[in-house]
A = this chain, B = another copy of it.
Amino acid sequence: MQKMITKLDSSQADFKQRLDTLLAFEASTDDAIESAVGKILADVKARGDAAVLEYTNKFDRLPNGGATSMAALDVSQEELQAALAAIPEAQRKALEVAAQRVRVFHERQKQELNGFTYTEPDGTVLGQRVTPLDRVGIYVPGGKAAYPSSVLMNAIPAHVAGVEEIIMVVPTPDGVKNQMVFAAAAIAGVTRVITIGGAQAVAALAYGTETIQAVDKIVGPGNAYVASAKRRVFGTVGIDMIAGPSEILIVADGTTDPDWVAMDLFSQAEHDELAQAILLCPDADYIAKVEASIEKLLPQMPRQEVIKTSLGDRGALVKVRDMDQACAIANSIAAEHLEISAVEPRQWADKIRHAGAMFLGRFSSESLGDYCCGPNHVLPTSRTARFSSPLGVYDFQKRSSIIHVSEAGAQTLGKVAAELAYGEGLQAHARSAELRLK
């Protein structure tokens, strides 16, 4: 019988090596995909709309012979509003509550970053200005993995940042439009929706076409073609992170209902076969209870096949020495989602240096954060929480330095700059400073 989930103990001699093996994930690059994407990008850059239209008709198998113009691929604001009116009221209300909470949290983020200026005694003014990006593109996957919550999480921070044009692209395989995605776009302040996808959509956003103005940054998840295209256009435009498989790490002190913890592990594992769900706990009896809950609850889950593969291949229940050790291991894993399911979670949270988002206490299930707590659900994966942050308002803003040197300031600064410039062999730099000396 296939093992349900790996069990590890931190006192094992080879524990570190076994944990590292479990955590290892190398995103493979597929030469066929790379080559196909390179061609699509070059083609869209050269032929614009004509190329986008051809690829869209072909890859998305648009019905009735396909679209004959780019205009046919635009979704009007009326259509978005109609979708919002058409979905069940409970769904609409849930989307609105979620959007409002996400907005409040991100408004708070915006308040943190106002820029500054200060004036020195000689009148020199220095500062930093914070401005929004002009125009961003949001990629939303179509088909099975079409998540309206991702529309909210990507578009609202851009909107709060003050981005004037938010262009969402979403493919409609076989012409099927996802009404809940359109409804979310209506709520989130998306300014234009175009039903294109794949590398051709990324190319259209990055380079611009006759009907689509080039954007400054592209965010949002996508398949391997989209990820490859985003990597390649980086530099021409900004991109968000290239996400790896989703992960949850639960640090439990053994006081939470084991069914809850088992279901939290499932909620990550059901995303896809490569998702990773790990429990760290000092209590072996509790780990056994969680394992029993897993076996009991799994047959009830509609996505049990995905969950089984994910838990079996990449999941783990880990017995640790104590909660301190759990925190140390959590720092080395730097998980995307970290639940601290404990009676006094803050004492442990204070020991955490690296995590995308921390969910404290037994009521803070990751799923609440995925949808409606307010913080973003786009988080750094694959240990990148060591150096990167959740998607936020700051991803749609940039800073410019302000330097306004007074005549008096130029006298003192000029001598310092000239000394260093001569030291570096950059004489024009030195002369440029010296010309300002009286």
Contacts and interface: CB of A to CB of B under 8 A. Distances in A.
A375 interface: yes
B428 A238 contact: no
A172 B424 CA distance: 16
Give the number of copies in the complex. Answer: 2
A15 interface: no
B419 A367 contact: no
A379 B259 CA distance: 51
B363 A409 contact: yes
Interface in A364-417: 364-376, 379-380, 382, 384-390, 392, 394, 398-407, 409-410, 413-417
A413 to B, nearest CB: 5
Interface stretch (A76-84, A94-102, A281-289): A94-102
A112 interface: yes
A126 B375 contact: yes
A267 B428 contact: yes
Contacts of A382: 235
B413 A372 contact: yes
B365 A263 contact: no
Nearest to A399: B389
Interface of A is mostly: mixed
A307 B403 contact: no
A6 interface: no
B235 A403 contact: no
A371 B303 contact: no
A345 to B, nearest CB: 7
A432 B357 contact: no
Interface stretch (A62-70, A113-121, A318-326): A113-121
B260 A417 contact: no
Contact of A148 (B386, B392, B423): B423
B384 A428 contact: no
A57 interface: no
Q: List the 9 shortest-distance A-B pairs measured between CB atoms, nearest first.
A: A238-B387, A375-B401, A266-B428, A94-B419, A357-B401, A360-B404, A363-B410, A389-B399, A371-B417
27 contacts: A94-B419, A94-B423, A105-B126, A125-B360, A131-B353, A144-B425, A148-B424, A237-B387, A263-B432, A267-B431, A270-B428, A271-B426, A301-B428, A301-B431, A357-B400, A363-B406, A363-B410, A365-B436, A366-B432, A367-B421, A367-B429, A368-B403, A372-B413, A375-B402, A375-B403, A386-B398, A390-B401
